[in-house]
Structure 1
Amino acid sequence: MPSVRLTDVGLLVETQPPRPISTILLTNDLTEAVMDEAEALTCDLIVSYHPPASSSQSNDCVRVGSTTGWWPAGGGQVSVLLSQALASGPCRFKLEFKVRNAEELQPITEQLKKEDSKTTLTHSVNSCEAEGLVASVLCSDTALPSAVQTLLLHGVASQALAILKTEQPPLPGHGQGRLIVLDQSVTVATAVEKMKSHLGMKHLRLALGSGHTLESTVSRAAGCAGSGASVLKGVRADLYVTGEMSHHEVLDAVASGASVILSDHSNSERGFLAVVKEKLGARLPDSVTVAISKADRDPLEVV
Protein backbone atom coordinates (compact mmCIF):
# COMPACT_ATOMS: atom_id res chain seq x y z
CA MET A 1 0.00 0.00 0.00
CA PRO A 2 1.49 3.38 -0.97
CA SER A 3 1.80 6.09 1.62
CA VAL A 4 -0.41 9.12 1.11
CA ARG A 5 0.25 12.82 1.39
CA LEU A 6 -2.86 14.96 1.20
CA THR A 7 -3.06 18.68 0.53
CA ASP A 8 -6.02 21.05 0.56
CA VAL A 9 -6.39 24.15 2.73
CA GLY A 10 -3.05 23.59 4.37
CA LEU A 11 -1.13 20.30 4.39
CA LEU A 12 -2.31 17.01 5.88
CA VAL A 13 0.32 14.31 6.21
CA GLU A 14 -0.18 10.63 7.01
CA THR A 15 2.75 9.60 9.18
CA GLN A 16 4.88 6.81 7.77
CA PRO A 17 8.26 5.34 8.73
CA PRO A 18 11.08 6.80 6.58
CA ARG A 19 11.65 4.78 3.40
CA PRO A 20 12.93 5.35 -0.16
CA ILE A 21 10.49 6.86 -2.67
CA SER A 22 10.88 5.91 -6.31
CA THR A 23 7.37 6.53 -7.76
CA ILE A 24 4.98 9.41 -6.97
CA LEU A 25 1.41 9.61 -8.27
CA LEU A 26 -0.29 13.02 -8.53
CA THR A 27 -4.07 13.26 -8.38
CA ASN A 28 -6.75 15.85 -7.78
CA ASP A 29 -9.06 13.43 -5.91
CA LEU A 30 -8.04 10.26 -4.13
CA THR A 31 -10.85 7.94 -5.23
CA GLU A 32 -10.91 4.14 -5.13
CA ALA A 33 -10.10 4.07 -8.84
CA VAL A 34 -7.01 6.20 -8.26
CA MET A 35 -5.93 3.99 -5.35
CA ASP A 36 -6.27 0.91 -7.56
CA GLU A 37 -4.16 2.67 -10.18
CA ALA A 38 -1.52 3.55 -7.57
CA GLU A 39 -1.30 -0.05 -6.42
CA ALA A 40 -1.04 -1.30 -9.99
CA LEU A 41 1.86 1.11 -10.56
CA THR A 42 3.43 0.10 -7.21
CA CYS A 43 3.60 3.75 -6.20
CA ASP A 44 5.41 4.69 -3.00
CA LEU A 45 3.69 8.05 -2.52
CA ILE A 46 0.42 9.70 -3.53
CA VAL A 47 0.08 13.49 -3.56
CA SER A 48 -3.62 14.44 -3.66
CA TYR A 49 -5.02 17.96 -3.93
CA HIS A 50 -8.17 16.95 -2.01
CA PRO A 51 -8.36 14.68 1.03
CA PRO A 52 -10.62 11.64 0.47
CA ALA A 53 -14.35 12.31 0.87
CA SER A 54 -13.56 15.94 1.61
CA SER A 55 -16.38 18.42 1.97
CA SER A 56 -14.08 21.41 2.29
CA GLN A 57 -13.68 23.98 -0.43
CA SER A 58 -10.37 24.18 -2.23
CA ASN A 59 -9.76 27.92 -2.27
CA ASP A 60 -6.17 27.44 -1.07
CA CYS A 61 -4.17 30.41 0.03
CA VAL A 62 -1.33 30.27 -2.46
CA ARG A 63 1.06 32.60 -4.23
CA VAL A 64 -0.19 33.98 -7.56
CA GLY A 65 1.19 31.61 -10.17
CA SER A 66 -0.21 28.53 -8.45
CA THR A 67 -3.64 26.93 -8.96
CA THR A 68 -5.59 30.06 -9.83
CA GLY A 69 -2.63 31.83 -11.41
CA TRP A 70 -2.21 28.88 -13.78
CA TRP A 71 -5.33 29.89 -15.74
CA PRO A 72 -4.84 31.69 -19.07
CA ALA A 73 -5.41 35.40 -19.22
CA GLY A 74 -4.15 36.64 -22.57
CA GLY A 75 -1.35 39.11 -23.22
CA GLY A 76 -0.65 42.37 -21.45
CA GLN A 77 -2.88 41.70 -18.46
CA VAL A 78 -2.68 43.05 -14.93
CA SER A 79 -3.40 40.44 -12.28
CA VAL A 80 -4.23 41.10 -8.61
CA LEU A 81 -5.32 38.90 -5.71
CA LEU A 82 -8.96 38.99 -4.68
CA SER A 83 -8.55 37.77 -1.10
CA GLN A 84 -5.31 38.43 0.78
CA ALA A 85 -3.92 35.60 2.89
CA LEU A 86 -2.57 36.31 6.37
CA ALA A 87 0.37 34.70 8.12
CA SER A 88 -0.51 31.74 10.30
CA GLY A 89 -0.18 32.02 14.05
CA PRO A 90 -2.11 31.82 17.31
CA CYS A 91 -5.04 34.14 17.85
CA ARG A 92 -4.12 37.12 20.07
CA PHE A 93 -6.16 39.77 21.85
CA LYS A 94 -5.20 43.26 22.97
CA LEU A 95 -6.72 44.60 26.19
CA GLU A 96 -6.46 48.33 26.90
CA PHE A 97 -7.25 49.76 30.35
CA LYS A 98 -6.39 52.60 32.73
CA VAL A 99 -4.73 52.57 36.15
CA ARG A 100 -3.89 55.44 38.48
CA ASN A 101 -0.15 54.79 38.73
CA ALA A 102 2.68 52.28 38.30
CA GLU A 103 2.17 50.90 41.81
CA GLU A 104 -1.39 49.91 40.91
CA LEU A 105 -0.20 48.37 37.65
CA GLN A 106 2.48 46.12 39.21
CA PRO A 107 0.22 43.55 40.96
CA ILE A 108 -1.95 43.33 37.85
CA THR A 109 1.13 42.56 35.77
CA GLU A 110 2.31 39.90 38.20
CA GLN A 111 -1.09 38.19 38.26
CA LEU A 112 -1.38 38.20 34.46
CA LYS A 113 2.09 36.64 34.12
CA LYS A 114 1.13 33.85 36.53
CA GLU A 115 -1.93 33.01 34.44
CA ASP A 116 -0.21 33.15 31.04
CA SER A 117 3.58 33.26 30.75
CA LYS A 118 3.27 34.42 27.12
CA THR A 119 1.29 37.53 28.06
CA THR A 120 3.09 40.73 27.14
CA LEU A 121 2.28 44.09 28.71
CA THR A 122 3.20 47.61 27.72
CA HIS A 123 2.10 50.92 29.16
CA SER A 124 2.45 54.59 28.35
CA VAL A 125 1.84 57.82 30.19
CA ASN A 126 -1.30 59.63 29.12
CA SER A 127 -0.89 63.19 27.87
CA CYS A 128 -2.76 64.30 30.97
CA GLU A 129 -0.86 62.90 33.98
CA ALA A 130 -3.87 63.31 36.24
CA GLU A 131 -5.60 60.55 34.30
CA GLY A 132 -2.83 58.10 35.16
CA LEU A 133 -1.44 55.34 32.94
CA VAL A 134 -2.92 53.68 29.86
CA ALA A 135 -1.83 50.03 29.80
CA SER A 136 -2.02 47.52 26.97
CA VAL A 137 -1.99 43.73 27.37
CA LEU A 138 -1.48 41.13 24.63
CA CYS A 139 -2.72 37.66 25.51
CA SER A 140 -3.71 34.39 23.82
CA ASP A 141 -7.33 33.48 23.14
CA THR A 142 -7.24 30.80 25.85
CA ALA A 143 -5.94 33.30 28.41
CA LEU A 144 -8.48 36.00 27.52
CA PRO A 145 -11.25 35.05 30.04
CA SER A 146 -8.85 34.87 32.98
CA ALA A 147 -7.10 38.08 31.94
CA VAL A 148 -10.39 39.97 31.83
CA GLN A 149 -11.38 38.49 35.22
CA THR A 150 -8.04 39.58 36.71
CA LEU A 151 -8.47 43.15 35.50
CA LEU A 152 -12.01 43.38 36.88
CA LEU A 153 -10.95 41.93 40.25
CA HIS A 154 -8.22 44.56 40.47
CA GLY A 155 -10.76 47.33 40.06
CA VAL A 156 -10.44 48.08 36.35
CA ALA A 157 -13.90 49.33 35.41
CA SER A 158 -15.52 47.31 32.62
CA GLN A 159 -16.53 50.49 30.78
CA ALA A 160 -12.84 51.52 30.70
CA LEU A 161 -11.73 48.16 29.30
CA ALA A 162 -11.33 47.75 25.52
CA ILE A 163 -10.79 44.30 23.95
CA LEU A 164 -9.41 44.14 20.41
CA LYS A 165 -8.59 41.09 18.30
CA THR A 166 -5.25 41.43 16.54
CA GLU A 167 -4.69 40.33 12.94
CA GLN A 168 -1.70 38.45 11.58
CA PRO A 169 0.42 40.30 8.98
CA PRO A 170 -0.41 39.68 5.30
CA LEU A 171 1.61 37.22 3.24
CA PRO A 172 2.80 39.12 0.14
CA GLY A 173 1.65 37.43 -3.05
CA HIS A 174 -0.50 34.82 -1.28
CA GLY A 175 -4.28 34.62 -1.33
CA GLN A 176 -7.37 33.33 -3.07
CA GLY A 177 -8.56 34.07 -6.59
CA ARG A 178 -7.41 36.81 -8.87
CA LEU A 179 -8.75 39.69 -10.95
CA ILE A 180 -7.38 40.06 -14.46
CA VAL A 181 -7.56 43.40 -16.27
CA LEU A 182 -6.84 42.92 -19.98
CA ASP A 183 -5.09 45.50 -22.15
CA GLN A 184 -7.14 44.20 -25.09
CA SER A 185 -10.72 43.10 -24.51
CA VAL A 186 -12.00 39.75 -25.81
CA THR A 187 -15.53 38.57 -26.45
CA VAL A 188 -17.34 36.19 -24.12
CA ALA A 189 -17.23 33.59 -26.92
CA THR A 190 -13.45 33.95 -27.19
CA ALA A 191 -13.04 33.63 -23.42
CA VAL A 192 -15.08 30.42 -23.48
CA GLU A 193 -12.91 28.93 -26.24
CA LYS A 194 -9.72 29.90 -24.41
CA MET A 195 -10.91 28.12 -21.26
CA LYS A 196 -11.97 25.03 -23.23
CA SER A 197 -8.56 24.81 -24.82
CA HIS A 198 -6.67 25.42 -21.62
CA LEU A 199 -8.65 22.91 -19.55
CA GLY A 200 -8.83 20.36 -22.34
CA MET A 201 -12.64 20.27 -22.21
CA LYS A 202 -15.21 20.03 -24.99
CA HIS A 203 -17.98 21.66 -22.97
CA LEU A 204 -18.30 24.35 -20.32
CA ARG A 205 -21.37 25.81 -18.66
CA LEU A 206 -22.08 29.47 -19.40
CA ALA A 207 -24.51 31.95 -17.88
CA LEU A 208 -24.64 35.25 -19.75
CA GLY A 209 -24.76 38.38 -17.64
CA SER A 210 -27.81 40.60 -17.77
CA GLY A 211 -27.85 42.27 -21.20
CA HIS A 212 -24.84 40.29 -22.42
CA THR A 213 -24.44 38.22 -25.58
CA LEU A 214 -21.63 35.96 -26.77
CA GLU A 215 -20.20 38.99 -28.56
CA SER A 216 -20.14 41.17 -25.43
CA THR A 217 -16.66 42.30 -24.49
CA VAL A 218 -14.67 41.15 -21.48
CA SER A 219 -12.01 43.49 -20.12
CA ARG A 220 -12.11 42.43 -16.46
CA ALA A 221 -12.26 38.74 -15.50
CA ALA A 222 -12.29 37.31 -11.98
CA GLY A 223 -11.41 33.68 -11.35
CA CYS A 224 -10.98 31.22 -8.54
CA ALA A 225 -10.32 27.48 -8.72
CA GLY A 226 -12.72 24.99 -7.15
CA SER A 227 -15.83 26.47 -5.54
CA GLY A 228 -15.05 30.16 -5.83
CA ALA A 229 -18.35 31.97 -5.25
CA SER A 230 -17.38 33.29 -1.81
CA VAL A 231 -14.18 34.80 -3.23
CA LEU A 232 -15.80 36.23 -6.38
CA LYS A 233 -18.89 37.69 -4.67
CA GLY A 234 -19.07 41.47 -5.10
CA VAL A 235 -15.99 41.68 -7.36
CA ARG A 236 -16.60 44.10 -10.24
CA ALA A 237 -15.88 42.11 -13.40
CA ASP A 238 -17.39 41.31 -16.81
CA LEU A 239 -16.76 37.58 -16.34
CA TYR A 240 -16.50 35.14 -13.43
CA VAL A 241 -14.61 31.88 -14.03
CA THR A 242 -14.66 29.08 -11.46
CA GLY A 243 -15.41 25.40 -11.02
CA GLU A 244 -18.82 25.52 -9.40
CA MET A 245 -21.43 27.93 -8.03
CA SER A 246 -24.88 27.33 -6.63
CA HIS A 247 -28.00 28.23 -8.60
CA HIS A 248 -28.62 31.39 -6.57
CA GLU A 249 -24.98 32.44 -6.68
CA VAL A 250 -25.12 32.28 -10.47
CA LEU A 251 -28.34 34.31 -10.49
CA ASP A 252 -26.73 36.98 -8.29
CA ALA A 253 -23.71 37.21 -10.58
CA VAL A 254 -25.84 37.44 -13.72
CA ALA A 255 -28.03 40.14 -12.15
CA SER A 256 -24.91 42.17 -11.33
CA GLY A 257 -23.92 42.09 -15.02
CA ALA A 258 -21.21 39.42 -14.88
CA SER A 259 -21.25 36.39 -17.17
CA VAL A 260 -20.24 33.10 -15.53
CA ILE A 261 -18.14 30.20 -16.86
CA LEU A 262 -18.29 26.96 -14.84
CA SER A 263 -16.09 23.96 -15.56
CA ASP A 264 -17.19 21.80 -12.57
CA HIS A 265 -15.12 21.74 -9.42
CA SER A 266 -12.10 19.54 -10.02
CA ASN A 267 -11.82 20.36 -13.74
CA SER A 268 -10.74 23.84 -12.69
CA GLU A 269 -7.86 22.39 -10.66
CA ARG A 270 -6.71 19.16 -12.28
CA GLY A 271 -4.64 20.71 -15.07
CA PHE A 272 -2.33 22.28 -12.50
CA LEU A 273 -1.01 18.79 -11.69
CA ALA A 274 1.15 19.08 -14.83
CA VAL A 275 2.80 22.15 -13.28
CA VAL A 276 3.32 20.28 -9.99
CA LYS A 277 4.91 17.40 -11.91
CA GLU A 278 7.31 19.78 -13.64
CA LYS A 279 8.28 21.48 -10.37
CA LEU A 280 8.84 18.18 -8.58
CA GLY A 281 10.82 16.80 -11.50
CA ALA A 282 13.17 19.77 -11.35
CA ARG A 283 13.86 19.19 -7.65
CA LEU A 284 13.96 15.39 -7.39
CA PRO A 285 16.68 13.03 -8.64
CA ASP A 286 16.20 11.19 -11.92
CA SER A 287 15.64 7.95 -9.99
CA VAL A 288 12.22 9.25 -8.86
CA THR A 289 9.31 8.94 -11.32
CA VAL A 290 6.46 11.44 -11.02
CA ALA A 291 3.23 10.41 -12.76
CA ILE A 292 -0.18 12.05 -13.13
CA SER A 293 -3.17 9.81 -12.48
CA LYS A 294 -5.12 8.70 -15.55
CA ALA A 295 -8.02 7.44 -13.43
CA ASP A 296 -8.59 10.80 -11.76
CA ARG A 297 -11.57 12.67 -13.25
CA ASP A 298 -14.46 14.86 -12.26
CA PRO A 299 -17.44 12.75 -11.10
CA LEU A 300 -19.77 14.84 -13.28
CA GLU A 301 -19.86 14.58 -17.07
CA VAL A 302 -22.06 15.84 -19.92
CA VAL A 303 -24.22 13.04 -21.35
Structure 2
Amino acid sequence: MYTENALLTILVEKINNDTLVLPTLPAIALKVRRAADDPNINLNAMADVLGQDPSLCARMIKISNSAYLGRAVKVTSTQQAVTRIGLRQIKNISTALAMEQLFVSKNDVVKEYMDRVWADTIEVVASSLAVLQIHIRQTKNRLLSLESMMLAALINNIGVLPVLTEAERHSEVFANLTFLDAAIDKLSGKIGASIMKEWGFESDFIQVAAYFKDMSVQTDAISYLDLVRLGAALCGRLEEHKDEVFELAVSKGIVNQFSDLLSEDFAELRDNAKLIFA
Protein backbone atom coordinates (compact mmCIF):
# COMPACT_ATOMS: atom_id res chain seq x y z
CA MET A 1 0.00 0.00 0.00
CA TYR A 2 2.89 2.37 0.79
CA THR A 3 4.34 2.02 -2.71
CA GLU A 4 0.97 2.65 -4.34
CA ASN A 5 0.30 5.69 -2.18
CA ALA A 6 3.83 6.99 -2.74
CA LEU A 7 3.49 6.87 -6.52
CA LEU A 8 0.03 8.42 -6.41
CA THR A 9 1.23 11.14 -4.04
CA ILE A 10 4.15 12.01 -6.31
CA LEU A 11 1.93 12.12 -9.41
CA VAL A 12 -0.81 14.18 -7.77
CA GLU A 13 1.74 16.65 -6.42
CA LYS A 14 3.32 17.08 -9.85
CA ILE A 15 -0.08 17.48 -11.49
CA ASN A 16 -1.10 20.12 -8.96
CA ASN A 17 2.21 21.94 -9.31
CA ASP A 18 2.13 21.65 -13.09
CA THR A 19 5.53 19.95 -13.05
CA LEU A 20 4.56 16.57 -14.49
CA VAL A 21 6.56 16.01 -17.67
CA LEU A 22 4.15 15.39 -20.54
CA PRO A 23 5.18 13.59 -23.74
CA THR A 24 5.78 15.74 -26.79
CA LEU A 25 4.17 15.01 -30.12
CA PRO A 26 6.62 13.29 -32.50
CA ALA A 27 8.43 15.96 -34.50
CA ILE A 28 7.23 14.77 -37.90
CA ALA A 29 3.62 14.68 -36.71
CA LEU A 30 3.96 18.23 -35.43
CA LYS A 31 5.38 19.37 -38.78
CA VAL A 32 2.57 17.70 -40.72
CA ARG A 33 -0.11 19.17 -38.47
CA ARG A 34 1.34 22.66 -38.84
CA ALA A 35 1.57 22.24 -42.61
CA ALA A 36 -2.01 20.95 -42.81
CA ASP A 37 -3.22 24.04 -40.94
CA ASP A 38 -1.54 26.31 -43.51
CA PRO A 39 -4.30 27.53 -45.86
CA ASN A 40 -1.75 27.82 -48.68
CA ILE A 41 -0.43 24.28 -48.47
CA ASN A 42 -0.75 22.09 -51.55
CA LEU A 43 -0.34 18.37 -52.19
CA ASN A 44 3.23 18.66 -53.46
CA ALA A 45 4.34 20.70 -50.45
CA MET A 46 2.69 18.23 -48.08
CA ALA A 47 4.47 15.34 -49.80
CA ASP A 48 7.76 17.20 -49.23
CA VAL A 49 6.99 17.54 -45.50
CA LEU A 50 6.21 13.83 -45.23
CA GLY A 51 9.37 13.07 -47.19
CA GLN A 52 11.40 14.15 -44.16
CA ASP A 53 10.47 10.86 -42.48
CA PRO A 54 10.96 7.83 -44.77
CA SER A 55 9.27 5.52 -42.26
CA LEU A 56 6.12 7.65 -42.18
CA CYS A 57 6.17 7.87 -45.99
CA ALA A 58 6.24 4.09 -46.23
CA ARG A 59 3.32 3.77 -43.84
CA MET A 60 1.34 6.42 -45.74
CA ILE A 61 1.82 4.46 -48.95
CA LYS A 62 0.80 1.30 -47.11
CA ILE A 63 -2.42 2.83 -45.79
CA SER A 64 -3.18 4.25 -49.24
CA ASN A 65 -3.04 0.74 -50.65
CA SER A 66 -4.95 -0.88 -47.80
CA ALA A 67 -8.46 -2.28 -47.80
CA TYR A 68 -9.14 0.46 -45.22
CA LEU A 69 -9.35 2.96 -48.08
CA GLY A 70 -10.97 0.45 -50.41
CA ARG A 71 -8.91 1.23 -53.49
CA ALA A 72 -7.74 -1.38 -56.03
CA VAL A 73 -5.14 0.65 -57.94
CA LYS A 74 -1.82 0.66 -56.08
CA VAL A 75 0.15 3.83 -55.34
CA THR A 76 3.94 3.79 -55.20
CA SER A 77 4.96 7.30 -54.15
CA THR A 78 4.36 9.68 -51.26
CA GLN A 79 2.82 12.23 -53.62
CA GLN A 80 0.33 9.64 -54.89
CA ALA A 81 -0.46 8.66 -51.31
CA VAL A 82 -1.11 12.28 -50.30
CA THR A 83 -3.34 12.73 -53.34
CA ARG A 84 -5.36 9.64 -52.48
CA ILE A 85 -5.69 10.39 -48.78
CA GLY A 86 -6.29 14.12 -49.18
CA LEU A 87 -4.99 17.11 -47.24
CA ARG A 88 -7.85 17.11 -44.74
CA GLN A 89 -7.27 13.51 -43.71
CA ILE A 90 -3.46 13.65 -43.75
CA LYS A 91 -3.31 15.65 -40.53
CA ASN A 92 -4.89 13.05 -38.27
CA ILE A 93 -3.70 9.96 -40.13
CA SER A 94 -0.06 11.04 -39.99
CA THR A 95 -0.39 11.83 -36.30
CA ALA A 96 -1.94 8.42 -35.66
CA LEU A 97 0.81 6.60 -37.56
CA ALA A 98 3.51 8.51 -35.65
CA MET A 99 2.02 7.74 -32.22
CA GLU A 100 3.89 4.46 -31.86
CA GLN A 101 7.11 6.45 -31.50
CA LEU A 102 5.92 7.52 -28.03
CA PHE A 103 5.61 3.98 -26.69
CA VAL A 104 9.32 3.33 -26.20
CA SER A 105 11.53 2.93 -23.15
CA LYS A 106 15.05 1.81 -22.32
CA ASN A 107 13.76 0.11 -19.18
CA ASP A 108 12.89 -3.51 -20.01
CA VAL A 109 9.95 -3.69 -17.60
CA VAL A 110 8.49 -0.36 -18.77
CA LYS A 111 9.02 -1.36 -22.40
CA GLU A 112 7.14 -4.61 -21.83
CA TYR A 113 4.29 -2.69 -20.20
CA MET A 114 4.25 -0.13 -23.04
CA ASP A 115 4.26 -2.87 -25.65
CA ARG A 116 1.23 -4.41 -23.99
CA VAL A 117 -0.56 -1.04 -23.80
CA TRP A 118 0.20 -0.38 -27.48
CA ALA A 119 -1.04 -3.82 -28.55
CA ASP A 120 -4.26 -3.35 -26.57
CA THR A 121 -4.69 0.11 -28.09
CA ILE A 122 -4.40 -1.25 -31.63
CA GLU A 123 -7.18 -3.73 -30.83
CA VAL A 124 -9.37 -0.82 -29.70
CA VAL A 125 -8.48 1.18 -32.82
CA ALA A 126 -9.34 -1.71 -35.14
CA SER A 127 -12.68 -2.41 -33.46
CA SER A 128 -13.61 1.29 -33.32
CA LEU A 129 -12.84 1.76 -37.02
CA ALA A 130 -14.90 -1.31 -37.89
CA VAL A 131 -17.82 -0.01 -35.81
CA LEU A 132 -17.72 3.35 -37.59
CA GLN A 133 -17.62 1.70 -41.01
CA ILE A 134 -20.67 -0.43 -40.11
CA HIS A 135 -22.41 2.71 -38.80
CA ILE A 136 -21.72 4.66 -42.00
CA ARG A 137 -22.97 1.81 -44.16
CA GLN A 138 -26.21 1.51 -42.22
CA THR A 139 -27.02 5.18 -41.68
CA LYS A 140 -25.11 7.04 -44.43
CA ASN A 141 -24.13 9.40 -41.61
CA ARG A 142 -20.62 10.75 -42.26
CA LEU A 143 -20.41 13.31 -39.47
CA LEU A 144 -17.65 11.21 -37.89
CA SER A 145 -14.59 10.59 -40.05
CA LEU A 146 -12.43 7.48 -40.18
CA GLU A 147 -9.16 9.37 -39.83
CA SER A 148 -10.37 11.18 -36.69
CA MET A 149 -11.78 7.90 -35.39
CA MET A 150 -8.35 6.29 -35.74
CA LEU A 151 -6.64 9.07 -33.83
CA ALA A 152 -9.33 9.25 -31.12
CA ALA A 153 -9.00 5.53 -30.44
CA LEU A 154 -5.20 5.76 -30.36
CA ILE A 155 -5.14 8.48 -27.71
CA ASN A 156 -7.74 6.92 -25.40
CA ASN A 157 -4.98 5.72 -23.06
CA ILE A 158 -2.31 8.36 -23.76
CA GLY A 159 -2.34 9.38 -20.10
CA VAL A 160 -0.44 6.21 -19.14
CA LEU A 161 2.80 7.54 -20.63
CA PRO A 162 3.69 10.12 -17.95
CA VAL A 163 2.65 7.63 -15.25
CA LEU A 164 5.04 5.06 -16.69
CA THR A 165 7.79 7.66 -17.01
CA GLU A 166 7.41 8.56 -13.34
CA ALA A 167 7.19 4.90 -12.31
CA GLU A 168 10.45 4.25 -14.15
CA ARG A 169 12.16 6.38 -11.51
CA HIS A 170 10.75 4.17 -8.75
CA SER A 171 11.67 0.59 -9.60
CA GLU A 172 9.94 -0.77 -6.48
CA VAL A 173 6.60 -0.09 -8.18
CA PHE A 174 7.24 -2.93 -10.60
CA ALA A 175 7.49 -5.48 -7.81
CA ASN A 176 3.69 -5.44 -7.85
CA LEU A 177 2.13 -4.11 -11.03
CA THR A 178 -1.22 -3.64 -9.32
CA PHE A 179 0.30 -0.48 -7.79
CA LEU A 180 1.01 0.82 -11.26
CA ASP A 181 -2.41 -0.20 -12.55
CA ALA A 182 -4.05 1.64 -9.65
CA ALA A 183 -2.16 4.86 -10.41
CA ILE A 184 -3.05 4.60 -14.09
CA ASP A 185 -6.71 3.92 -13.33
CA LYS A 186 -7.00 6.91 -11.03
CA LEU A 187 -4.97 9.51 -12.91
CA SER A 188 -4.55 8.62 -16.60
CA GLY A 189 -7.76 10.35 -17.68
CA LYS A 190 -6.83 13.69 -16.13
CA ILE A 191 -3.28 13.42 -17.42
CA GLY A 192 -4.48 12.39 -20.89
CA ALA A 193 -6.68 15.47 -21.12
CA SER A 194 -3.70 17.64 -20.16
CA ILE A 195 -1.63 16.08 -22.94
CA MET A 196 -4.34 16.71 -25.54
CA LYS A 197 -4.64 20.35 -24.44
CA GLU A 198 -0.86 20.75 -24.49
CA TRP A 199 -0.77 19.40 -28.04
CA GLY A 200 -3.56 21.74 -29.13
CA PHE A 201 -5.98 18.98 -30.09
CA GLU A 202 -9.68 19.59 -30.62
CA SER A 203 -12.29 19.06 -27.90
CA ASP A 204 -13.41 15.67 -29.29
CA PHE A 205 -9.97 14.23 -28.55
CA ILE A 206 -9.71 15.88 -25.14
CA GLN A 207 -13.08 14.35 -24.29
CA VAL A 208 -11.94 10.84 -25.20
CA ALA A 209 -8.68 11.09 -23.26
CA ALA A 210 -10.39 12.57 -20.20
CA TYR A 211 -13.59 10.54 -19.92
CA PHE A 212 -13.00 7.23 -21.72
CA LYS A 213 -13.47 5.23 -18.49
CA ASP A 214 -15.98 7.58 -16.84
CA MET A 215 -19.41 6.34 -17.90
CA SER A 216 -21.12 9.16 -15.98
CA VAL A 217 -20.02 11.38 -18.88
CA GLN A 218 -22.24 10.85 -21.93
CA THR A 219 -22.87 12.77 -25.14
CA ASP A 220 -26.29 13.50 -26.62
CA ALA A 221 -25.22 12.85 -30.20
CA ILE A 222 -23.16 9.88 -31.38
CA SER A 223 -19.54 10.75 -30.67
CA TYR A 224 -16.00 9.45 -30.95
CA LEU A 225 -16.21 8.81 -27.21
CA ASP A 226 -19.12 6.40 -27.81
CA LEU A 227 -17.29 4.53 -30.54
CA VAL A 228 -13.99 4.26 -28.67
CA ARG A 229 -15.82 2.84 -25.66
CA LEU A 230 -17.68 0.41 -27.90
CA GLY A 231 -14.48 -0.65 -29.65
CA ALA A 232 -12.82 -1.18 -26.27
CA ALA A 233 -15.72 -3.22 -24.90
CA LEU A 234 -15.71 -5.42 -27.99
CA CYS A 235 -12.09 -6.43 -27.37
CA GLY A 236 -12.39 -7.08 -23.65
CA ARG A 237 -11.74 -3.72 -22.05
CA LEU A 238 -14.26 -1.78 -19.94
CA GLU A 239 -15.51 -5.14 -18.67
CA GLU A 240 -17.42 -3.57 -15.79
CA HIS A 241 -19.33 -1.31 -18.20
CA LYS A 242 -19.66 -3.51 -21.27
CA ASP A 243 -23.40 -4.20 -20.90
CA GLU A 244 -24.14 -0.47 -20.69
CA VAL A 245 -21.86 0.24 -23.65
CA PHE A 246 -23.49 -2.47 -25.77
CA GLU A 247 -27.01 -1.24 -24.91
CA LEU A 248 -26.06 2.33 -25.85
CA ALA A 249 -24.76 1.11 -29.21
CA VAL A 250 -28.30 0.19 -30.21
CA SER A 251 -30.28 2.82 -28.28
CA LYS A 252 -28.21 5.68 -29.72
CA GLY A 253 -28.40 4.22 -33.23
CA ILE A 254 -24.72 3.45 -33.67
CA VAL A 255 -25.78 0.10 -35.14
CA ASN A 256 -29.19 -1.37 -35.93
CA GLN A 257 -28.66 -4.38 -33.69
CA PHE A 258 -25.80 -5.67 -31.60
CA SER A 259 -25.43 -8.81 -33.71
CA ASP A 260 -24.11 -6.54 -36.50
CA LEU A 261 -20.91 -6.32 -34.44
CA LEU A 262 -20.56 -10.09 -34.25
CA SER A 263 -20.73 -10.65 -38.00
CA GLU A 264 -18.06 -11.86 -40.43
CA ASP A 265 -18.30 -8.47 -42.13
CA PHE A 266 -17.35 -6.71 -38.90
CA ALA A 267 -14.48 -9.16 -38.31
CA GLU A 268 -13.11 -8.50 -41.80
CA LEU A 269 -13.27 -4.73 -41.32
CA ARG A 270 -11.54 -5.07 -37.95
CA ASP A 271 -8.78 -7.28 -39.37
CA ASN A 272 -8.20 -4.89 -42.29
CA ALA A 273 -7.80 -2.02 -39.81
CA LYS A 274 -5.21 -3.99 -37.81
CA LEU A 275 -3.09 -4.40 -40.92
CA ILE A 276 -2.52 -0.64 -40.99
CA PHE A 277 -0.24 -1.02 -37.96
CA ALA A 278 1.26 -4.41 -38.78
- The verdict on a shared fold, with TM-score over 0.5 as the criterion, is no
| Structure possessing the higher radius of gyration over alpha carbons | 1
- Calculate the TM-score normalised by the size of structure 2: 0.23
Structure showing the higher strand proportion among its residues: 1
